Chains A and B, each alone.
Chain A
């Protein structure tokens, strides 16, 4: 093994990464023994101010919200930039998504234009949603939550603003590049690499001020949401940099690295940020601490350990080492542990105070998101099993699953997060709360139709792709009705985003009476 210089370097890296991870685990065990990790039950109350327990913080202009005002508005402008731009990207990204969906059952639709062909719009949809909507929206909400939990105003506000500008420029250039052939050719990583350097730079410009804010905190205990945010801010840059180091990968190894990234970007980036938001807003809105704070420890560490080892089920049955696929299957099934503990925590808390759902639209978004997290994660554990995976692999089932996770869970939670933060950022309530409610129902109906319809169609498709007496033609014909159903669900989702755009811009416009004063 030590014949060539390159092999030596590989062995050094191998030993290095292995020792770092073992040392990390050891340190964690030591921390456990020293009771650094276990937390007092009272810590669950750390997100509540004086006399806040037992009261729902519903009205942004109430006395309750007033005591958070300085922290809430400590970085108003950059947070608004992140949130508003992400909503604009969401609308654009879902327009592309819907066009792509139509093309599945009407292949001639907008088919004669080179720039509007399916294969150009499909990566635009994915990348706009991943890097234009999900990431900056989640960062925006996280930036708003961190001061509330650390009790420290957000640091380096100007840097954060610059980060928002650079991030958006990166996404714009990335998208335009895709149209004109600047494409790295890897799913989830299509943007041309110089534009991805802009994203990495902007990401660092968000992470560093956030870490400074956390460092300055005098809080003895960091609330569970902070664990997820801190970990996500470490995980994503590592994933992004390694997966984008093209000089490292080619052939099958690159496929492995590609899907290692593409699945971890969900498990170690979007999911922890989404869960962090649920862990804060759910108890805050119902006015009571989370059901079991100790359980949330299992949820977090389980996710950290199991979710970082999945992803290879995207290549099961393909030309990858068998043990690698098996490892991912085992870890995917292991994910049931953190998912179930988190589910118990969230759903018991929500169930005990179900009546608050009548009063708070934001809570509806959050609870729907938490429920989707449970369903899509258990679905994920299930279809990572080989027997199951052989059917669902290569089909629309996967697309349905991805939307259940990224829309039903993350996007719905982000809707709730943005709707909760915006009034407290600008200091006034929404003028038309009913439109928020309408947004919820249209979006929820849309994603349910989408996920169930396309998931079932994908299952039929998968069964046909396994039928040795069947034909490929039949697998295409079978899915057609479900592709139409998908477009219907997608139309509802896009409509709901237009409502959101209206809601966001209506709250940004100052009230007339305020101008007169």
Chain B
């Protein structure tokens, strides 16, 4: 037998310490914080959850964060992304979608910031129809395009600049937009002790 055991021992103890500090203690602390905060968020509806899954499957999180920093750290507030995030904003999030990239803007309060469903549908169909400098991919495969002088279907949206071109959102697109509409993390949580009064 050789001295491998020293490295087995050393390796095990450092990783255990890491689990202690980074998994267990934060869990305890965060759950204590959340216990006293009635989140301003409400649970996602079934459709919003389906939209959330579409958000994950199409990799939105690789370009959009859902965490707002304190003004000390960046211009988040000045850009209109709302107040700094709190742990209680995420109690219904599983898996979490905090993200760490801002190739696109933060989406923490997109539901309050851009409440027009039509805007979102057109933007998903082709972002550059509405935002000329955008580098976001379009999602034309979520839409059917119809040619008609009048609205071909309830819910159809006319493409700006065209008189007879309409997009008809699929169920997937509707759910995705519903999910975005639900993101309103700009309301403040109330303390549990005060909420009951």
Which residues of chain A have a CB within 8 Å of any CB of chain B? 10, 13-14, 17-18, 20-25, 27-28, 31, 36-37, 103-105, 107-108, 111-114, 117-120, 122-123, 181, 183-187, 214-215, 217-222, 226-227, 230-231, 234-235, 238-239, 242, 246, 248-260, 264, 268, 301, 304-305, 308-309, 311-312, 314-321, 324, 327, 386, 390, 393-396, 398-399, 465-473, 475-477, 480
Residues of A within 8 A of B98 (CB): 252, 255, 315, 318-319
Is there a chain A Cβ closer than 8 Å to B74's Cβ? yes
Residues of A within 8 A of B103 (CB): 104, 396, 476
A122, B61: Cα distance in complex, Å: 11
Q: Which of B78-86, B115-123, B146-154, B156-164 contacts A (4 or more CB under 8 A)?
A: B78-86
Contact of B12 among A24, A317, A398, A471 (CB under 8 A): A24
Residues of B within 8 A of A242 (CB): 19, 23
User: Could you tell me if A472 and B27 are in contact, using CB atoms closer than 8 angstroms?
Assistant: no
- What's the least CB distance linking A247 to chain B, in Å? 10
Name the 6 nearest CB pairs between A and B, nearest first: A24-B13, A119-B59, A21-B17, A317-B69, A251-B90, A317-B73
Q: List 11 A-B contacts (CB under 8 A).
A: A20-B13, A117-B141, A119-B58, A185-B61, A257-B23, A259-B100, A260-B23, A304-B11, A396-B103, A466-B75, A470-B75
Residue of B nearest to A186 (CB): B95
Contact of B75 among A24, A264, A465, A473 (CB under 8 A): A465
A466, B4: Cα distance in complex, Å: 49
CB within 8 Å for A28 and B13 given contacts A119-B60, A251-B90, A321-B26: yes
User: Could you tell me if B14 and A308 are in contact, using CB atoms closer than 8 angstroms?
Assistant: yes
Residues of B within 8 A of A393 (CB): 69, 73-74, 100
Residues of B within 8 A of A471 (CB): 79
A398, B63: Cα distance in complex, Å: 13
Is there a chain A Cβ closer than 8 Å to B137's Cβ? yes
CB within 8 Å for A108 and B12 given contacts A10-B24, A318-B69: no
Is there a chain A Cβ closer than 8 Å to B45's Cβ? no
Contact of B141 among A22, A114, A256 (CB under 8 A): A114
State which residues 31-75 of B face A: CB under 8 Å: 31, 34, 53, 56-63, 65, 67, 69-75
A158, B14: Cα distance in complex, Å: 33
State which residues 118-171 of B face A: CB under 8 Å: 127-128, 133-141
A324, B124: Cα distance in complex, Å: 37
CB within 8 Å for A321 and B6 given contacts A25-B13, A185-B56: no
User: Could you tell me if B14 and A254 are in contact, using CB atoms closer than 8 angstroms?
Assistant: no
Which residues of chain B have a CB within 8 Å of any CB of chain A? 1-4, 6-31, 34, 53, 56-63, 65, 67, 69-75, 78-79, 84-87, 89-98, 100-103, 105, 127-128, 133-141
- What's the least CB distance linking B171 to chain A, in Å? 14
A320, B59: Cα distance in complex, Å: 24
- What's the least CB distance linking A128 to chain B, in Å? 15
A314, B65: Cα distance in complex, Å: 12
- What's the least CB distance linking B140 to chain A, in Å? 5
User: Could you tell me if A222 and B2 are in contact, using CB atoms closer than 8 angstroms?
Assistant: yes
* B22, B60, B67, B79: most-surrounded residue (chain A CB, <10 A): B22
User: Could you tell me if A18 and B59 are in contact, using CB atoms closer than 8 angstroms?
Assistant: no
User: Could you tell me if A28 and B9 are in contact, using CB atoms closer than 8 angstroms?
Assistant: yes
Residues of A within 8 A of B139 (CB): 117
Residue of B nearest to A245 (CB): B23
Residues of B within 8 A of A248 (CB): 23
Contact of B95 among A120, A123, A184, A217 (CB under 8 A): A184
Residues of A within 8 A of B22 (CB): 256-257, 260, 309, 311-312, 324
CB within 8 Å for A119 and B19 given contacts A24-B12, A234-B12: no
User: Could you tell me if B12 and A390 are in contact, using CB atoms closer than 8 angstroms?
Assistant: no
User: Could you tell me if B140 and A394 are in contact, using CB atoms closer than 8 angstroms?
Assistant: no
- What's the least CB distance linking A419 to chain B, in Å? 28
Contact of A468 among B3, B12, B18, B75 (CB under 8 A): B75
CB within 8 Å for A390 and B72 given contacts A23-B13, A318-B98: yes
User: Could you tell me if A318 and B67 are in contact, using CB atoms closer than 8 angstroms?
Assistant: yes
A398, B101: Cα distance in complex, Å: 9
